[in-house]
Copies of this chain bind each other. A is one copy, B any other.
Amino acid sequence: MKKKITIKEIAKILMVSVSTVSKAMNDSPEISEKTKKKVKELAKFYGYVPNHIAVSLKNQSTFNIGVIIPDIQNSFLAEVLKNIEVHAKKNGYRIITFFTGEKLKEERESLNILSNGMVEGIIVCPSEETFVERQFEHFKNIAETTPIVTFDRLHKELNFNSVSVDDDQSILKACDHFQSTDAKNILFVSSIGWLSVGKTRRRTFTGFIENNTSVTGETIEEHDLDELRKKIEARITDDSQPNIDAILGADIESTSIASASISRNKLKFIDEISLIGYVNKKQNELQFPRVSYINQYPEKVGEKAVELLISNLKQDQKKITQEIIKTEIVKKDTSK
């Protein structure tokens, strides 16, 4: 493998000083056009490019942004990540991505590594285990020296700039929508009951049911997806119990399973049973039926996260901004 050429070697070849080369490469007005041309030609010839590590050390700035997310397979997170990358690039930043697999230990390590001067700020979606274990110290420690923006998942201990989605509102909107289209008995299905966001969504749902006399509600929570499918199918085909005329999916998986269960048992969407939930948007457009869904606007989340971080980078701000993205019910084929 050929060694990369440095400024020093170019200087030697041209019999000038390293600073002349450096200035020429950076188009300093101090250098004559003739010299600039000579230097640049040779640089191009040897494929010279400034060593980013050295520049970072010298300038004390890396133009890297760290991103930590629990799972790339989650289509919402993947879409947020993509938009983070796009907007970071637009602002001249690169991203360094770590995946935690929802593990606290991985999260701690990622934060440590990234804060060692590798990046100027960190955008992070805290892992589930972090919430379960209620461990937030590692965030606070890092935040003393490195700006942090969190997204998607909130906690009162996480006192940073953040972008999240109005989860309560979206569940309520779906419930309201069902109620206004005359649903009588809503089934809430979830494969993320163990996850904090799953708990919030369930609580919001049960709260709605308790405060409304015109609708009743039931809940199926099951982490094992195949079990979940069985339970849902058993319930919606059970004639001995009150009829389910609407299903609310608390996450992408349970919504998919609910849709498949309805199709497999040949129930008629809308006429017999409606469905609203969370989906993989891109995939949903191609399917039949396309499920009516709660749009969480991952593009906005990603863009806003970058925006908050960069403004924080540019000036040491004191006030914390907790941005909340409004969600929206998008009607497709499975609901009125």
The stretch that binds B, out of A114-122, A150-158, A179-187, A212-220, is: A114-122
Contact A116 B49 (CB under 8 A): yes
Select which of B94, B115, B264 is within 8 A of A113 by beta carbon.
B94
What's the Cα separation between A53 and B61 when bound, in Å? 10
Q: Across the interface, which residues of B come within 8 angstroms of A128, CB to CB?
A: none
Q: Across the interface, which residues of B come within 8 angstroms of A3, CB to CB?
A: 145
The answer to the question of A56 belonging to the interface, with a C-beta cut-off of 8 Å to chain B, is yes
Q: Across the interface, which residues of B come within 8 angstroms of A50, CB to CB?
A: 116
The answer to the question of A173 belonging to the interface, with a C-beta cut-off of 8 Å to chain B, is no
Contact B2 A145 (CB under 8 A): yes
The stretch that binds B, out of A20-28, A35-43, A163-171, A283-291, is: A283-291
The answer to the question of A135 belonging to the interface, with a C-beta cut-off of 8 Å to chain B, is no
Q: How far is the CB of A153 from chain B (nearest CB, A)?
A: 20
Q: Across the interface, which residues of B come within 8 angstroms of A86, CB to CB?
A: 99
Q: Across the interface, which residues of B come within 8 angstroms of A241, CB to CB?
A: none
Provided the pairs A72-B78, A94-B96 are in contact, do residues A286 and B53 lie with their beta carbons within 8 angstroms?
no
Residue among A3, A118, A144, A264 having the largest count of chain B Cβ atoms under 10 Å: A118
The answer to the question of A323 belonging to the interface, with a C-beta cut-off of 8 Å to chain B, is no
Contact B263 A288 (CB under 8 A): yes
The stretch that binds B, out of A11-19, A192-200, A254-262, is: A254-262
Contact B47 A57 (CB under 8 A): no
What's the Cα separation between A311 and B175 when bound, in Å? 55
The answer to the question of A90 belonging to the interface, with a C-beta cut-off of 8 Å to chain B, is no
Contact B47 A145 (CB under 8 A): yes
Provided the pairs A72-B81, A141-B47 are in contact, do residues A95 and B97 lie with their beta carbons within 8 angstroms?
yes
Provided the pairs A73-B282, A78-B72 are in contact, do residues A144 and B2 lie with their beta carbons within 8 angstroms?
yes
Q: How far is the CB of A206 from chain B (nearest CB, A)?
A: 25
Q: How far is the CB of A60 from chain B (nearest CB, A)?
A: 9
A-B contacts besides A47-B145, A85-B98, A287-B287, 20 pairs, CB < 8 Å = A1-B145, A3-B145, A4-B145, A47-B141, A49-B115, A51-B57, A52-B113, A53-B53, A53-B57, A64-B96, A72-B81, A72-B82, A72-B85, A73-B79, A94-B96, A256-B286, A259-B288, A260-B287, A264-B288, A280-B283
Q: Which residues of A pack against B, CB within 8 Å?
A: 1-4, 47, 49-54, 56-57, 62, 64, 72-73, 78-79, 81-82, 85-86, 94-99, 112-113, 115-118, 141, 144-147, 225, 253, 256-257, 259-261, 263-264, 280, 282-283, 285-288, 316
